[in-house]
């Protein structure tokens, strides 16, 4: 199930990145007392009152900014507004209501999205009276917060959670394997969907970015049911705010969340580039079963070591994903295509595997017997108990204590 999306927007230097970092519990966004520091949208995730969500930090919106950087920052913020289910509109109690705040408010009115006004820099009780002028923005009760002290964040999230839509569960049965195809534009995702289905179900074009939305396509092979989730190609951040690409990154991330198995497509003709690492990182961070698919293998000039060298290149460039198998194929000619679905089935089974507790404890006991835990300040770590607490991905908890 895809998570709802929250966007934090406002004019520059009102403290958006500080609040973003507090909500996600990490210093992902750069915090500096200088307008325009956050130029791109930054994505994170959070949880409050049992609900998980994606959250976007944006650069400050300067309505009259004429230079190219400020124009792109504003466009990034506009796209975040379009992607969001709820918007946190950040304003500044110290500077009060400004004309720039009014301009941002007009942009938010046009979006017709639910909005919660967060009045930042209410650092002491004496500033509480400063929030009342923000009622005139027309978005209901403003929430007083302090990014520097961390106060009011719970009240803000309570107000946001109230406005989040109920996300619908996927309607697919448990035995259906949901497969997301991700990769930069023009690596052949739509061609691979068509090759697997044996028919032209998805538009295929040599123009990068032809597939705009995520498309669910169910099919069955050898008694196993699948759903292919084709996604728009992920572009580099510098290009993501082109109008035709405005939803591609967020929708691809939502497709990853919904998937059981993620196919990371790489253009075998062009080789690995830095953007491939960023894309693979999304699947890795989401804890998904993954397969590297090297497409367009038919046009690669080969000798007896070409495949071996490409495998080594993948392992060198994706050292954080040594667990992911690699399949070489050509969606165009269907060469080696038959090897893909058995690998998908295998990683799906591994991802859902549950190991009996006694087996886990036996394995850990054997490991400890061969390599005793080290001493720390004269005390040794003792592993008491090991158990698996979740699947997809398999998650194992080790209970331990320090003993003399």
Q: Which residues are annotated as a binding site?
A: 10-17, 57-61, 120-123, 183-190, 230-234, 295-298
Length of the chain: 404
Helix, strand, coil percentages (3-state) for the chain, rounded to 5, are: 35, 25, 40
Q: Assess contact for 183 and 75: CB atoms under 8 A.
A: no
CA distance 240 to 35: 22
Instruction: Decide: 29 and 21 in contact? Cβ < 8 Å.
Output: yes
- Residue 379's φ and ψ, nearest 5 degrees, are -120, 145
Burial 113-125 (b: 16+ CB within 10 A, else e): bbbbbbbbbbbee
Q: How many CB atoms lie within 10 A of CB 206?
A: 6
Edge-first strand order for the sheet with 375-376 is 375-376, 379-390, 395-403
C-alpha distances in Å from residue 231, one per residue of 40, 110, 145, 173, 268: 21, 28, 38, 22, 19
Q: Which of 258, 75, 291 is nearest to 183 (CA)?
A: 291
Q: Which of 25, 72, 73, 69 is nearest to 45 (CA)?
A: 25
Please give the annotated binding residues for GTP, written as ranges: 10-17, 57-61, 120-123, 183-190, 230-234, 295-298
Question: Between β-strands 395-403 and 379-390, what pairing exists: parallel, antiparallel or unpaired?
Answer: antiparallel
Q: What sign does the CA torsion over 294, 298, 299, 305 have? A: positive
No. of helices (H) and no. of strands (E), the chain: 10, 15
């Amino acid at each position: 199930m895809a998570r709802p999306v929250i966007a934090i927007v406002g004019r520059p230097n009102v403290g958006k990145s500080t609040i973003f970092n507090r909500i996600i519990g990490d210093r992902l966004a750069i915090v500096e007392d200088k307008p325009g520091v956050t130029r791109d949208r930054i994505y994170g995730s959070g949880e409050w009152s049992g609900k998980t969500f994606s959250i976007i930090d944006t650069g400050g919106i300067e309505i009259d900014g004429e230079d190219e950087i400020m124009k792109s920052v504003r466009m990034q913020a506009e796209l975040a507004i379009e992607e969001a289910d709820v918007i946190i509109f950040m304003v500044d109690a110290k500077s009060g209501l400004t004309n720039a705040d009014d301009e941002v408010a007009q942009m938010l009115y046009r979006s017709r999205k639910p909005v919660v006004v967060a009045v930042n820099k209410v650092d002491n009780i004496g500033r509480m009276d400063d929030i009342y002028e923000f009622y005139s923005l027309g978005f209901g009760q403003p929430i007083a917060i302090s990014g520097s002290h961390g106060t009011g964040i719970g009240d803000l999230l309570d107000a946001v959670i109230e406005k989040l839509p109920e996300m619908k569960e996927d309607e697919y049965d448990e035995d259906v394997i949901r497969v997301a195809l991700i990769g930069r534009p023009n690596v052949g995702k739509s061609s691979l969907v068509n090759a697997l289905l044996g028919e032209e179900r998805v538009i295929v074009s040599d123009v990068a970015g032809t597939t705009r939305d995520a498309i669910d396509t169910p099919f069955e092979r050898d008694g196993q049911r699948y759903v292919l989730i084709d996604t728009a190609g992920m572009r580099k951040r510098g290009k993501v705010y082109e109008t035709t690409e405005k939803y591609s990154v967020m929708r691809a991330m939502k497709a990853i969340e919904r998937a059981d198995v993620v196919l990371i497509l790489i253009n075998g003709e062009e080789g690995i580039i830095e953007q491939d690492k960023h894309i693979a990182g999304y699947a890795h961070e989401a804890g998904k079963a993954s397969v590297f698919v090297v497409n367009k293998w038919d046009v690669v000039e080969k000798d007896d070591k070409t495949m071996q060298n490409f495998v080594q290149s993948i392992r060198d460039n994706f050292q954080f994903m040594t667990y992911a198998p690699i399949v070489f194929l050509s969606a165009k000619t269907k060469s080696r295509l038959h090897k893909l679905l058995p690998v998908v089935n295998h990683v799906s089974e591994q991802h859902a595997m549950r190991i009996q507790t006694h087996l886990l404890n036996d394995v850990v006991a054997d490991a400890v017997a061969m390599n005793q835990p080290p001493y720390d300040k004269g005390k040794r770590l003792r592993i008491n108990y090991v158990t698996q607490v979740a699947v997809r991905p398999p998650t194992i908890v080790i209970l331990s204590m320090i003993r003399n």
